[in-house]
């Protein structure tokens, strides 16, 4: 039996182009944003489960306190808004983002006709 190196000789390949390196500050900034996003996502998930659990416990005891649930829901909404802001910044820094919505500032990709955030048309609508 012949060794694999004889059966499949290596071809001379062109050297790979050097990877395009981002500025160190940009990489650190992205890393910090990713860590912040992950922290907020974890906090959001825990708070959402806590809100659902609190409602369940109140409901089975037939003692629902809307003031407590409203306060927890407001805090959850605040964390959700902060998470959305971080995700928008990360989306803007992506290489394939086509632009931002002129109405709300949300990033959008190529070929998108309406903003996913506010439904503002991103392409001119012709008059028929």
66 and 87 assigned to the same domain = yes
pLDDT computed for residue 54 by the predictor: 95
How do residues 86-123 score in pLDDT, each as one tens digit? 888 887 777 666 778 888 887 787 778 888 889 888 88
Clarify whether residues 35 and 76 are in a common domain.
yes
Q: Which residue is it, tokens 């659902």?
A: 52
Looking at the fold, whether 112 and 56 belong to one and the same domain comes out as: no
- Determine the pLDDT at residue 16: 52
pTM for this model (two decimals): 0.58
Bridge partners of 40, per DSSP, are none
Report DSSP state, residue 110: T
Same domain, 101 and 42: no
Is 44 within the bounds of a domain?
yes
Do 89 and 106 reside in the same domain of the chain? no
5-21 confidence digits (pLDDT tens): 565 555 554 455 555 55
Give domain status of residue 15, yes or no. Answer: no
**In-domain check, residue 13:** no
The total number of structural domains that make up the chain: 2
State the residue range of the domain holding 81. Answer: 23-93
- pLDDT tops 90 at residue 74: yes
């Amino acid at each position: 039996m012949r060794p694999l190196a004889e059966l499949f000789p290596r071809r001379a390949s062109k050297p790979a182009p050097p990877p395009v390196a981002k500025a160190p500050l940009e990489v650190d900034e992205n890393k910090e944003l990713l860590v912040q996003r992950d922290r907020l996502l974890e906090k959001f998930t825990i708070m959402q489960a806590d809100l659902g659990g609190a409602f369940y416990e109140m409901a089975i005891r037939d003692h629902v306190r809307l003031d407590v649930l409203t306060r927890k829901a407001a805090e959850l909404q605040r964390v959700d808004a902060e998470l959305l802001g971080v995700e928008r910044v990360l989306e803007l820094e992506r290489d394939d983002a086509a632009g931002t919505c002129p109405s709300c500032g949300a990033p959008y990709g190529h070929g998108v006709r309406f903003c996913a955030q506010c439904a503002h048309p991103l392409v001119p609508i012709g008059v028929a």
